[in-house]
Amino acid sequence: MRHFLVGVSAFALLAACSDEQGRDPNPPEVVSQPANDAGETELQTETQRLMAFFDAQFHRELALSPQGQTYLGLIDDIEAYGRWDDASDAAFAASQDRARADLAALHNDFDFDALTPETQVSYRFSEFVLENQLDQGEFRDHNYIFTQFFGPHSDLPAMLIGYHRMANADHADAYVRRLEGLGPQLQTLVDQADERARQGVLPPGFAYPTVINTARGMISGAPFDDSDEDSPLWADFNEKLAGLELGEEMAEALRVRARTALVDSIGPSYEHLISTMENHAEMAERLEIDGVSRLPRGVEYYEAQVANYTTRDDMNAEMVHTTGLAEVDRIHGEMRDIMAQVGFEGTLQEFFAHLRTDEQFYYPNTEEGRQRYLDEATSILSTMREALPDYFGRLPQAEMEVRAVEPYRIETATGAFYEPGPLDGTAPGAYYVNLSQMDELPVYQMETLAYHEGLPGHHMQVAISQELDNVPMFQRTTWFSAYGEGWALYSENLGKDMGFFTDPYQDFGRLGYEVFRAARMVVDTGIHFYDWSEQEAMDYMLANTPMTEGDIRNEVRRYIVWPGQAMSYKVGMLTILELRQRAMTALGDEFDYGEFHDVVLGNGSVPLTLLSDLIDAYIEEKLTE
């Protein structure tokens, strides 16, 4: 999934459906009931006070994040709609000061025991978010800004193209103002990346060709050269402008401003980015270790990433590594059972090679082959949608579409990902598939990918979270990878429990993705904790997963520039499965899938420590009924 709302910067990117004053037209409802005694009155009052605190905090941060507003579909504040977030070091320091003050207020100004049980969950959720934000902020200068997998060089244009809606002249003006501000915004971020590089914080050399090629692609075509094709931002602006009923004089004035911003500001900024990345590539040639242990506080930094991406207080890098090794061995056993089922004679590695190379497992690299993949993925999700009521109580109201990744970001995109729709439900969520190289998109993985990115995976989890009632807005929009990716991987496994994966090759695809995520635990820790080289990590993945060599190279390089994130999938899945088994054992015949899933999905993207406590509370409540 594409992550716009992550634990370390959750409040900075939150946004809510608001009226023209910037306030929530449907604030979290506090249920009022007649008080039977003074204690109940006190309980309700403290809950109301804390909800008001969360509301004020949320709208304060909302006002400071124009990009967060746009991602979640907020366009009423037209002045903010034309700005980027403040990316300066000073703004970051100020956000950390606010987080410290908020955490102190949470601890000192509110009586936890006087809150309703539901609001106690929100309290603990907020406490974790703030503490995590402060912990991660200590290592801000260790994060890579520009990589082959993410960075403002591609993310900022992607936001304009994918999220900046243009329904009238004011929206068009806001688009132009963002074009005018894009050059300075890039310059700020390039300067920060340059300072970090001088301190030794820069990704290995493999990252730079993709960054440079993507940057060049952004300034290739009209109006930057005499090409017959338009550059991505110029094409998007003109296409959206053509959909408006504006006078030609106004439209031309907007085009002139947009062209000037592109040529005079954005073009030079991207050229400066390219020259800086070329310089950093030369510096990276001297790096001897791929992992973050080479950074100034690399060991401590990775410990913080393990905490951030597991959201558990009982795991460290060594435990993650050992768990991953054990899971790889277990899954290999199930894979061998399927090999016997389909009559393949040979080793597991030979079966992997068969799946990587046999043409029957891939659709043609043609428009017909791409459309066939999209159509069949859509059909798989339609079938799953019909089965959901048997395993879930609450279902998402938001719609979802299957889409091909657009050309402007196809080089930097992963094989598949999910992007949520806006909070107001005016646009569907989207399961994106990268169809650029069909020989890297095995058909036998189609079913498990659809469940992971779509239903009952990311779309279901995110949409239900956005649609929650009677919880603070931060709880609806915050994202933690261990929960979100853990749920999506759990959803693949759940598809098997629900009676799907009847085709043995599709079932092998499910196991292929599960062993892939287990191997990620081994490789991520191998790179950053045990100082494995890129080649050592690739060799392990090639020997233990059926993924193609091209996929494995891209994935290993992703783990190198995004330390810790890859472990979150399997840690989250194993935690949810462990909690489900705990509930099944305790409740016996009283266990109900729908009730269990409603608890898991009913509080937002909670840290796993909190999720464990929520399931324990659910079990206790069921046993006392």
Domain residue ranges in the chain: 1-27+36-138, 300-573
Provide the pLDDT for residue 8. 33
Position 28 pLDDT exceeds 70: no
Mean pLDDT, the chain, integer: 92
- Tell me how far apart the alpha carbons of residues 320 and 253 are, in angstroms, rounded to a whole number: 57
**DSSP code of residue 265:** I
Q: How far is Cα 551 from Cα 508, in angstroms, rounded to an integer?
A: 17
Question: CA distances (Å), 96 to each of 122, 136, 402, in order?
Answer: 20, 10, 38
Collapse the DSSP code of 145 into the 3-class scheme (helix H, G, I; strand E, B; otherwise coil) and give the result: coil
* pLDDT tier for residue 314 given thresholds of 50, 70 and 90: very high
For residue 80, count CB atoms less than 10 angstroms from its CB and return exposed for 0-12, middle for 13-18, buried for 19 or more: buried
Query: Dihedral (C-alpha) 513, 515, 520, 521: value to the nearest 10 degrees?
Result: 130
Query: 46-55, 250-259, 265-274, 406-415: which has the minimum mean pLDDT?
Result: 406-415
CB 266 within 8 A of CB 179: yes
Q: Span 358-384, mean pLDDT?
A: 97
**What backbone torsions phi and psi does residue 210 show, to the nearest 5 degrees?**
-70, -45
Across the range 561-566, mean pLDDT stands at: 97
Residue 484: exposed, middle, or buried by beta-carbon count in 10 A (0-12, 13-18, 19+)? Answer: buried
Q: Could you give the residue ranges of the DSSP H alpha helices within 202-346?
A: 207-218, 232-242, 248-261, 267-284, 298-310, 317-342
pLDDT of 7 strictly over 60: no
pLDDT per residue as tens digits for the range 117-149? 999 999 999 999 999 999 999 999 999 999 999
- At residue 424, the pLDDT reads 80
What DSSP element (H or E) covers 358?
none
Evaluate the omega torsion of the peptide bond into residue 546 and state whether it is cis, within 30 degrees of 0: no
The band of 408, judged by pLDDT with boundaries at 50, 70 and 90, is confident
| 17 pLDDT above the threshold of 60 | no
The structure's pTM equals 0.90
Identify the band that residue 384 occupies on the pLDDT scale cut at 50, 70 and 90: very high
The residue behind tokens 């080793």 is 347
Q: Which of 16, 613, 15, 516 is nearest to 311 (CA)?
A: 613
Residue 12 is predicted with a pLDDT of 34
Model confidence at 26, pLDDT cuts 50, 70, 90, reads: very low
- Span 307-328, average pLDDT: 97
Contact 618, 493 (CB under 8 A): no
Cα separation of 431 and 304, whole Å? 31
Report the pLDDT value the prediction gives residue 44, as an integer from 0 to 100: 63
At 547 the pLDDT is: 86
CA angle at residue 529 from 523 to 533, to 5 degrees?
A: 55
H/E stretch holding 109: helix 89-109
